[in-house]
Amino acid sequence: MRLLLISNSTNPGEGYLEYPTPYIKDFLGEKPINAVFIPYAAVTFSFEEYEEKVNNRFVEIGHHVTSIHRFINPVEAIENADAIVVGGGNTWQLVGMLWEKGLMKAIRKKVKEGTPYVGWSAGSNIACPTLKTTNDMPITEPGKFKTLKLVPFQINPHYLDDHPANHGGESRETRINEFIEVNRNVYVVGLREGTMLTRQGNELTLLGDRPARLFKYGEEPKELTSNNDLSFLLG
């Protein structure tokens, strides 16, 4: 499998998909690709707007995306895709629509056959076995929490260490600790903004200049950098 799982689309003060664009270019290669784009996580803007926004960045690196909502047969579109790109937004809506349209299994099968997969935020979250480590509000009920299981661990995108002053709610680490208390055999990677994971077959690597935070029940959280081999998480 070939995966590029990005924490966030945009860093403060930058354009949309600006920082990950060089990584996407390296991942997809020089040969022009027309990828199928999944915009279903969009809530407050249209799929057409989302497609245009992503395409504007992809054409800069010689590639193109076509939103899946333009295809009469979306499953067939996935089966014929040169690459699959899944945008961020609300994970609950994304998962619900993928199950509703019969695409979850089709995407999993296609990617396991070697088709490149690029996702950010919600698009990275659904590469995991379940959506349970999303940060998003459950604005809709997807019916199933199961997702693509392209990796056997969980990702928490946009991972934050900060606990704002005068905020009485849980920190991100507290919420993840609750998850691993109930799901004791599952690793969770807190993927900080500006970073991403890439999977090439049985190799897993962290990209970016910030560490990731690794959680597992009964173990102290660990800081992992781009110098670490993370392939053990695929075991």
| Residues catalogued as catalytic | 121, 136, 158
Distance CA 225, CA 117 (A): 22
- 3: tokens are 């995966």
Distances (CA, A) of 111 to 4, 27, 148, 199, 202: 12, 14, 9, 12, 14
Query: Are the beta carbons of 107 and 101 closer than 8 angstroms?
Result: no
Q: Is 136 exposed, middle or buried (0-12, 13-18, 19+ CB in 10 A)?
A: buried
**Residue 156, both tokens:** 């928490």
